[in-house]
Amino acid sequence: MTTVENLPETTRVELLARLKKIEGQARGIQKMFEDGRDCTAIIDQVASIKAAVNALSGEMLEAYAIHCLTNAARLESPEKTIEDAVRVIVRASR
């Protein structure tokens, strides 16, 4: 199995920073909602989170391909590795 431990430390730190930023955005939207802010402002912030999550997904896919798949051949069969890669790419693109 490939895990985030397969990623270089710098990549893990960068991805974690992105996740924390997304978490902060989500908390900001919760506060906007609680404060009764304008719906369009909230929707704009939700769109920002979606873009941030999509960007994170792309970064994760790239890191997975570069750091996890390149070493996966020694962990699993090539067929299983390809199946897993296709499955994760399809899920991420939805």
Tokens of 76: 């699993």
Q: What is the CATH number of the domain that holds 78?
A: 1.20.58.1000
What residues make up the domain containing 44? Answer: 8-92
pLDDT higher than 70, residue 72: no
Residue 1 included in any domain = no
Task: Give the pLDDT of residue 27.
Answer: 98
* DSSP for 14-79, written as a single string: HHHHHHHHHHHHHHHHHHHHHTT--HHHHHHHHHHHHHHHHHHHHHHHHHIIIIIIHHHTTTS-HH
CA 92, CA 54: separation in Å to the nearest integer?
A: 8
Taking the whole predicted model, whether its pTM rises above 0.85 is answered as no
Report pLDDT digits (tens) over 18-61: 999 999 999 999 999 999 999 999 999 999 999 999 999 989 88
